[in-house]
Structure 1
Amino acid sequence: MDEQTFYRHLRVTHSQFVYLTEVLRQHGLKGDQHDGGVKIPLKQKVALFLWYMANQNSFREISDKFNLSQSSAHRCVVEVLRTFCTMVPTFVSWFTECEKMLTSAAFRAMCGIDCIIGAIDGCHIKIQRPPVRGGDYLNRKGYYSVVLQSIVDGKGRFRDIFVGAPGRVHDSRILRKSTFFARWAEKMGRYMLLGDSAYISREYPFIITPKRDNGALTTQDQQRNTQICKGRVVVEQAFGRLKCKWRRMRDLQNTRLDVVVMLIMSACMLHKLCTGPTDMCKDHPTGCPRHEDENI
């Protein structure tokens, strides 16, 4: 394929594909024997997985396209998912002190607020109703979902993720249950995060939130809220790009929640590994929509 066609189908460039394949190989993924001894090369596994994540095709359609049985196509996806999950601590990592200073400067230029290193929010990923305690996953918009809580830096890169909370759970409660919250003082130091009104609480002194508009906001309060919104847009855009580029995230049909969690974590990894500084969605040059979950 030429570069444009390759990117349209797999959502990565040729160079990103080579890099991703090598990273997965170093973490233990390899070609092997399926379908009665037919060898499935490593590159074919990676290409199949990228196609699966970038589209919403069924395994019947994918197996036909890659000339494999449905069971082999499914096995390839699961193998790559498991490999991705071992990579999360390495590639979705917290800031170093130097990175904190650089990111703080970027946010200062973006929104005019000092000592900000990231923005936090939750994103709902649509799923089928789970067979056990399914009602817990029904969110306020009327569909079943799990929540991806993320902290992103000034470039929209995921720095901390917490995946799998039921869609019915409020963002504030998810934060309290997350692994980040247990160590927030150590991780944040003197720095702060930007968040929306869901995080207005004395429990979160490390999050700057807008004041609720009760009709009596001063001009200074309104300006402050505008600054916070300008900074928070990076996390909104990150979720939008995630769902626009890796379209599997718009609607996960898997009923097994452990697989759902692995898929979401893998999408976050792809977002980190396969997003270049000049990447821009041609369909949405001003920012990708979040597809159904916005403002939940």
Structure 2
Amino acid sequence: FAHVRRRRFLHEVVMRTNNLLLNFAAPLLQRRSQRTCWMRVRSKDWWERVVLKEFEDEEWKDNFRMTRRSFNKLCGMMEGVLKPEVVTVRAPVPLEMRVAIVLYKLASCAQYRLVANQFGVHKTTVKKFVYIFCKGMVSSPVIHNFIKVPTTKEAIGIARRFEQKFNIPQIIGCIDGTHIPVLPPSDGYQEFANCEGWPSYVLQAVVDDMYRFWNINCKMPGWTYDDNVLRQSTLFNQAHLLPKVKINGVPINHFLLGDPAYPLMDWLIKGYAHSPNITPEQESFNAYLSSARTTAETAFERLKSRWRVLLKRSDCHFTFTPHVVGACCALHNFCENEKESVNPIWTEEAAALALDLPQPGLRAFNTSDNANDFSQTKVYTCILKIQS
């Protein structure tokens, strides 16, 4: 019976061990697991108390580039794009706060994380609002409230004001380009690199006499020549639809002014090529054109002073950057229409930031100065007839 006693002894040892383990585990099994928090509490004090209750107009402009009156008007125009969805779990971010988040991001080019901390939301929320706002503004009919080709009546007014300022008739816009920094794809850096060596998109724009863009194109990478950017744009393909004016019963084209990098067209004029044979009249014509073209340069300066996201290599995906550029141009026009001024301090700071990424010079693939001079003489003669 020795083996029976041994078996009983081992069984008692196992039972006592199991009981001991159960005694230790019982409190752990009885303790209820604590529920984890599914939403972190974040402070919205800056927006709800400081901005909404204490900010004056000058502070609104410094942070959002417009006064509160203009801000409220913009919110009404963007309600169909950014209006919060009806939810029952928690209160959605209000429309006004959504618009403010986007404007703050575009004006400062701060990281998503910093903007999120400022408004008391998550960084993915900031990114979502920026994408919805920019894509909605550019891809929906809302864009036509901000950027559109002038009607015949509007074109006549633009041409009259251009002539009063620069003594050149029939001008309804200045065409120019600027490079916008972009975060390129890892396998496509060379395609986006401009002649200064940094990756960019080319923003081509037509500007009226009041520094407003009425046509923009931002889809060509930085290596593209200026004249090729024009030829690939809707402006070039639909130039025949530009408004005309009748003089003595004859329909006459309105003109755009361009720099030497652009081709000479029956609707686009530029200065004479500099040569030893240039006449005093041609030099005078060039001087007037050069003075008028500063309108586009000033418009780009005001655009980038307001929206610094266009000055830095932002954290937006390269395929989304054109939407951001389009939204900034539309917001620029909105500010100009609302008579929102540009703070000289913004301009100084923008000029300092622009030194990090210098703009490329004029680039044209192929021009024939002789042919251009011959055609330019005909245009010049036509303008003299209009003036007389």
TM-score over 0.5 (shorter chain): yes
The amino acid that maps onto 2:105 is Y
Partner residue, 2:324: 263
Identify which of 277, 280, 292 aligns with 2:339. Answer: 277
Partner residue, 1:19: 73
Query: How many angstroms apart in 1 are the aligned matches of 2:315 and 2:340?
Result: 33
Structure 1 residues 281 and 214: CA distance shift in structure 2, 3 A? farther
Structure 1 residues 255 and 65: CA distance shift in structure 2, 3 A? closer
Partner residue, 1:195: 258
Identity %: 24
Identify which of 272, 286, 289 aligns with 1:225. Answer: 286
Partner residue, 1:43: 96
Superposition deviation, residue 285 in structure 1:
8.0
| Local SS of the residue matching 2:180 | strand
Q: TM-score, normalised by structure 2?
A: 0.71
- Structure with the higher fraction of residues in helix conformation: 2
Mean alpha-carbon deviation: is it higher for 92-101 or for 127-136? 127-136
| Local SS of the residue matching 2:217 | strand
1:214 aligns with 2:269: no
Superposition deviation, residue 33 in structure 1:
7.5
The amino acid that maps onto 1:187 is L
Mean alpha-carbon deviation: is it higher for 208-217 or for 46-55? 208-217
Post-superposition Cα deviations, 1:1-23, rounded to whole Å, max 9, x if no partner, equal 11111111111111110010000
Q: Does the aligned pair in 2 maintain the 1:131–1:255 contact within 8 Å?
A: no
Q: 1:41-80 residue pairs with structure 2 within 5 A? A: 41-80=94-133
The amino acid that maps onto 1:107 is F
Superposition deviation, residue 255 in structure 1:
5.6
Partner residue, 2:166: 111
The amino acid that maps onto 1:184 is A
Superposition deviation, residue 258 in structure 1:
2.5
Structure 1 residues 294 and 283: CA distance shift in structure 2, 3 A? farther
Query: How many angstroms apart in 2 are the aligned matches of 1:187 and 1:142?
Result: 36
The amino acid that maps onto 2:286 is N
Note the residue ranges of structure 1 that are not aligned, 5 or more in a row.
none
Query: How many angstroms apart in 2 are the aligned matches of 1:208 and 1:131?
Result: 39
Q: 1:86-125 residue pairs with structure 2 within 5 A? A: 86=140, 87-125=142-180
Query: How many angstroms apart in 1 are the aligned matches of 2:105 and 2:316?
Result: 17
Structure 1 residues 294 and 4: CA distance shift in structure 2, 3 A? farther
Q: TM-score, normalised by structure 1?
A: 0.91
Q: Does the aligned pair in 2 maintain the 1:123–1:149 contact within 8 Å?
A: yes
Q: 1:243-258 residue pairs with structure 2 within 5 A? A: 243-254=304-315, 256-258=317-319
Query: How many angstroms apart in 2 are the aligned matches of 1:238 and 1:294?
Result: 18
Structure 1 residues 165 and 4: CA distance shift in structure 2, 3 A? same
Post-superposition Cα deviations, 1:265-292, rounded to whole Å, max 9, x if no partner, equal 0001100112233624323789x75933
Note the residue ranges of structure 2 that are not aligned, 5 or more in a row.
1-54, 245-252, 363-388
Mean alpha-carbon deviation: is it higher for 167-176 or for 271-280? 271-280
Partner residue, 1:237: 298
Query: Matched residue pairs, number?
Result: 291
Partner residue, 2:36: none
The amino acid that maps onto 2:232 is K
- RCO higher in 1 or 2 (8 Å CA, sep ≥ 6)? 1
| Local SS of the residue matching 1:267 | helix
Query: How many angstroms apart in 1 are the aligned matches of 2:345 and 2:269?
Result: 32
After superposing on structure 2, the runs of 4+ consecutive aligned residues of structure 1 that deviate more than 6 Å are none
| Local SS of the residue matching 1:214 | coil
Query: How many angstroms apart in 2 are the aligned matches of 1:152 and 1:178?
Result: 15
Q: Does the aligned pair in 2 maintain the 1:32–1:41 contact within 8 Å?
A: no
1:10 aligns with 2:64: yes
Query: How many angstroms apart in 1 are the aligned matches of 2:110 and 2:82?
Result: 24
Superposition deviation, residue 38 in structure 1:
4.6
Structure 1 residues 172 and 188: CA distance shift in structure 2, 3 A? farther
Post-superposition Cα deviations, 1:6-64, rounded to whole Å, max 9, x if no partner, equal 11111111111001000001x33212479x73521101100000000000210111110
Q: 1:163-182 residue pairs with structure 2 within 5 A? A: 163-182=218-237
